[in-house]
Amino acid sequence: MNNMMEITNLSKSFKDFSLKGVNITLEKGYIMGFIGPNGSGKSTTIKLIMNLIKKDSGEIKIFGIDNESNNISIKERIGFVYNENHFYEELTVKEMKEVISPFYCRWDERIFNKYAKDFELPINKEIKHLSKGMKMKFSLAIALSHHAELLIMDEPTSGLDPLIRSELLEILQSLLQDENKSIFFSTHITSDLDKIADFITLINNGEIILSKTKDELLEEHCIVKGSKKQLTTNDPLNFIGLKQNDFGFEALCKDKKEVIKQYGNSVIIEKPTLEDIMVFYTRRSDHHVSSY
């Protein structure tokens, strides 16, 4: 069993939004970044993985077993961090920990205390008085204290300062020193993933646009910039998120080699970031935002 998580043809419809045939595979020992704009279906997918809502069709296998029929045993082995604080604000950190810990058979007080010390968690403070970063760290400490094999994080970094974000990434990397653990990390702050993610899955409008290793993604894609004249002579179908104005065009292209072959040095070819890839794939080329 080398797949930590396997999602096949997952669908879920709401009145105004639907998730259409989502396929994601996460291997053991790696970290997958799950990116997409707001409202693209990231949280819905995570809710389905965590079995918080019922799917319409498809299959979700975690640790090789179905997540609905093995709900309890799977959750024993999952650590979760959500983007908002869902803890009871009235309780202190210590009380909240005591509420949660008895549910896990494999809860390890020693690990929790270690993280509490490392994160400098104010153990006797009420949760409502914690800063946003502190709440996330507390959430993380809880998620890591029961020997979870799969860590699921739903936009853990939104609203956090860069310092805490980089601390988080460091923690995640040290977690991955154990090659039997995997991390599934949803975010729209792609710079978090530029460095450490192994796999990237991009979702837009409830559909998976791509899912592959970050290295492949960054190596095969390129940003092309050139004059409009060049555009008319060549096939623009290859371009993703083509945008043109009076001065020229820019677009993302899936096949860097082909672009070099076709255009040579006549256009500017740039290395994209994950953010570029997300923006180009998800924007509508005919859509212009203007100010009044």
For binding to other proteins (CB under 8 A), which residues are involved? 29-31, 50-52, 71-73, 75-76, 78, 80, 82, 84-91, 95, 99-100, 102-104, 169-170, 173-174, 176-177, 179, 194-199, 213-215, 218-219, 264, 271
Nearer Cβ to other proteins (25/104) = 104
Query: Which residues lie across from 22 on neighbouring strands?
Result: 10
Sheet with 199-204: list strands edge to edge: 78-81, 150-154, 182-187, 31-35, 199-204, 207-213
For residue 117, what are its two tokens?
Answer: 């010390």
Nearer Cβ to other proteins (9/66) = 66
Nearer Cβ to other proteins (51/204) = 51
Minimum separation from the CB atom of position 49 to other proteins (A): 10
Nearer Cβ to other proteins (11/43) = 43
Minimum separation from the CB atom of position 89 to other proteins (A): 6
Minimum separation from the CB atom of position 244 to other proteins (A): 26
Q: Are 30 and 216 in contact (CB under 8 A)?
A: no
Nearer Cβ to other proteins (136/176) = 176
Minimum separation from the CB atom of position 161 to other proteins (A): 18
Q: How many CA atoms lie within 13 A of 127 on its CB side?
A: 19
Cβ of 238: how many Cβ atoms within 10 Å?
Answer: 16
Which residue bears the tokens 């961090």? 81
Nearer Cβ to other proteins (80/249) = 80
Question: Which residues lie closer than 8 Å to 32 by C-beta, 6 or more apart?
Answer: 24, 26, 182, 183, 184, 185, 197, 198, 199, 200, 201
Cβ of 4: how many Cβ atoms within 10 Å?
Answer: 24
Minimum separation from the CB atom of position 214 to other proteins (A): 6
Minimum separation from the CB atom of position 283 to other proteins (A): 24
Which residue bears the tokens 């530029």? 194
Structure letter (DSSP) for residue 104: -
For residue 266, what are its two tokens?
Answer: 């006549």
Which residue bears the tokens 């799917």? 55
